[in-house]
């Protein structure tokens, strides 16, 4: 015979009908996919408060049986109707809650994301990865300020306290200076959006003075590029060519054109028109900067492009996809999934050792370093960066001849071709005489 304690222990505990939400100190229940709240409580163990909430819950179910349309109302609204109280038509307090304001801002940013067909909205184009980055940056302020707190009540002291906390984390070594810079810049952008949309009437006066942090800009280290004089870049190219034709093409696009994974993934068939007279070029605006880039293709790059492209010539079809038909670069559950970057990094480590941290970005840096060492300022054309001088922005037009010359020599020095093709000396294509 079991003792009394053993009997009580073996008896199943009665499951509660309602769930305790510690965030708002209320008893709730998921009904028709939406959470309904049935009353506050002092604590989870307070039996009296639970019984009161349970009574409201049962009453709500009875009303729901009589009239299914009340599913759109909260239990509080139904009780107010019975008591003869007026219910406000709009609950403006929810509109200005910080979490709702952030959601509206993220939705606005999502409208700017480039579509699968490569089309950009009229409001400008950004990547999905950038939206996820902004969402992550602003989440730290949401946690600090309070998701349910009214954004209209924000004060300068709130920004000061938030800034002090972030700088404190930086001094403690938990986050880097660049992280603080990104969080401050994101918060300023968000608050200015809310002011533009008239969500808040006035911006905090210290928005520019307190949310200010410099950014560390390190010069590229010698270990971050592939040395072409001692044969590193040639060795990696040979490894890529042995692996597959696809991997060889990704290497060539990264060095020949300075493309990163997202740019390769977004390439369209109309960007490369090899049926035209003259040397084949890739002419396209870079999504990040909006600057038009122009790169002459090496012979091997053009050959593999023609062979591996899956789209129709001269159209907006995507050039290269995975075997499944998906783009080369995708975002799933908020994370980037890059087929190219991962495989190249694996090849780099197999070729140069497991401790080698270089990536496909290092190929872009290598190409820019090669060109910058020969022609001053031409590396900006190769990288498709925005001009920084007044002359470059307002007066002078870019001359691509020096870039084409540098790419011709790069093709030979990087071991892509044994011969030097001086494409920059070719005369412009002439129209046929009628």
Contact assessment for residue 95 and residue 143, using Cβ atoms and an 8 Å cutoff: no
Distance CA 131, CA 110 (A): 7
**CA atoms within 13 A of residue 249's CA, in its CB half-sphere:** 16
* Tokens read off for 263: 């740019």
Sheet holding 34-40, edge to edge: 19-21, 26-31, 34-40
Tokens read off for 323: 């075997």
242 and 109 inside one domain:
no
pLDDT of residue 386: 83
Predicted pLDDT of residue 285: 87
Overall domain count for the chain: 3
pLDDT recorded at residue 287: 73
Domain CATH for 184: 1.10.150.130
**In the structure encoding, which two tokens stand for residue 107, read together?**
């939705």
Do residues 66 and 138 both lie within one domain?
A: no
pLDDT at position 36 is 83
Picking from 210, 236, 262, the residue at the C-terminal end of a domain is 210
**How many C-beta neighbours within 10 Å does residue 377 have?**
14
Residues 53 and 140 occupy one common structural domain: no
* Residue 347: predicted pLDDT: 94
| Residue 217 falls inside a structural domain | no
Residue 312 domain boundaries:
222-425
Evaluate whether residue 338 is within a structural domain. yes
Query: Is 9 within the bounds of a domain?
Result: no
**Claim to verify: residue 202 and residue 99 sit in the same structural domain:** yes
* pLDDT confidence of residue 226: 92
Strands 329-332 and 34-40: unpaired
Burial pattern 42-57, b for ≥16 Cβ within 10 A else e, equals eeeeeeebbebbbebb
Do the domain assignments include residue 180? yes
- What are the helix and strand counts (H, E) for the chain? 18, 7
Q: Does residue 279 lie in a domain region? A: yes
Whether 206 and 228 map to the same domain: the answer is: no
Q: What is the pLDDT of residue 96?
A: 83
Q: What is the pLDDT of residue 34?
A: 74
Cut 0.85: pTM above it: no
Do 290 and 321 form a contact (C-beta atoms < 8 A)?
no
**Tens-binned pLDDT, residue by residue, of the chain (434 aa):** 445 445 444 545 567 788 888 767 888 888 876 778 888 888 888 888 889 888 888 888 888 888 877 777 778 777 777 776 655 554 445 778 899 999 999 988 888 775 433 444 333 467 777 888 999 999 999 999 999 899 988 999 999 999 999 999 999 999 999 999 999 999 999 999 999 988 888 999 999 999 998 877 766 667 789 999 999 999 999 999 999 999 999 999 999 999 998 889 889 999 998 887 778 899 998 877 778 889 999 999 999 999 999 989 989 899 998 888 888 887 665 556 677 888 999 999 999 999 999 999 999 999 999 999 888 889 999 998 887 777 777 777 777 889 999 999 999 999 999 999 888 787 644 444 44
**Does residue 295 fall inside a structural domain?**
yes
Q: Could you tell me if residue 6 is inside a domain?
A: no
Altogether, the residues listed in the chain come to a count of: 434
The confidence score (pLDDT) of residue 125 equals 64
Which pLDDT score, from 0 to 100, does residue 186 have? Answer: 95
Q: Looking at the structure, do residues 193 and 287 belong to the same domain, yes or no?
A: no
Contact 24, 39 (CB under 8 A): no
């Amino acid at each position: 015979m079991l003792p009394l304690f053993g009997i009580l222990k073996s008896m199943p505990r009665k499951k509660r009908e309602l769930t305790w939400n510690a965030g708002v100190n209320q008893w709730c229940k998921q009904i028709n996919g939406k959470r309904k709240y049935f009353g506050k409580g002092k604590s989870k163990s307070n039996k009296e408060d639970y019984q009161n909430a349970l009574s409201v819950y049962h009453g709500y179910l009875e009303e729901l049986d009589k009239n299914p349309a009340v599913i759109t109302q909260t239990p509080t609204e139904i009780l107010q109707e019975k008591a003869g109280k007026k219910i406000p038509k709009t609950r403006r307090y929810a509109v200005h809650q910080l979490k709702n304001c952030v959601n509206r801002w993220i939705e606005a940013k999502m409208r700017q994301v480039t579509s699968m067909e490569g089309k950009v909205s009229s409001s400008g184009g950004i990547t999905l990865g950038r939206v996820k980055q902004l969402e992550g940056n602003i989440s730290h302020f949401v946690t600090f300020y309070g998701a349910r707190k009214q954004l209209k009540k924000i004060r300068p002291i709130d920004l000061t306290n938030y800034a002090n906390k972030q700088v404190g984390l930086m001094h403690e070594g938990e986050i880097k200076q660049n992280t603080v810079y990104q969080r401050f810049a994101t918060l300023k952008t968000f608050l200015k959006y809310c002011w533009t949309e008239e969500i808040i009437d006035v911006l905090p006066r210290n928005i520019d003075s307190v949310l200010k942090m410099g950014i560390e800009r390190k010069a590229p280290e010698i270990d971050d590029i592939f040395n072409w004089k001692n044969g590193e870049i040639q060795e990696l190219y040979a490894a890529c060519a042995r692996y597959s034709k696809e991997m060889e093409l990704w290497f060539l696009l990264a060095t020949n054109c300075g493309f990163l994974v997202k740019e390769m993934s977004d390439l369209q068939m109309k960007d490369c028109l090899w049926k035209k007279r003259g040397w084949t070029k890739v002419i396209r605006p870079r999504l990040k900067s909006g600057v038009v880039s122009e790169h002459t293709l090496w012979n091997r790059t053009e050959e593999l492009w023609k062979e591996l492209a899956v789209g129709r010539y001269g159209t907006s079809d995507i050039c290269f996809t995975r075997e499944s038909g998906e783009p080369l670069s995708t975002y799933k559950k908020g994370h980037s999934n890059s087929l190219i970057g991962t495989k190249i990094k694996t090849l780099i480590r197999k070729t140069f050792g497991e401790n080698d941290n270089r990536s496909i970005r290092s190929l872009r840096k290598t190409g820019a370093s090669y060109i910058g060492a020969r022609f001053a300022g031409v590396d900006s054309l190769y990288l498709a960066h925005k001009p920084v001088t007044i002359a470059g922005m307002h007066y002078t037009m870019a001359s691509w001849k020096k870039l084409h010359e540098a790419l011709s020599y790069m093709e030979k020095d990087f071991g892509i071709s044994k011969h030097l093709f001086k494409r920059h000396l070719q005369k412009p294509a002439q129209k046929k005489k009628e």
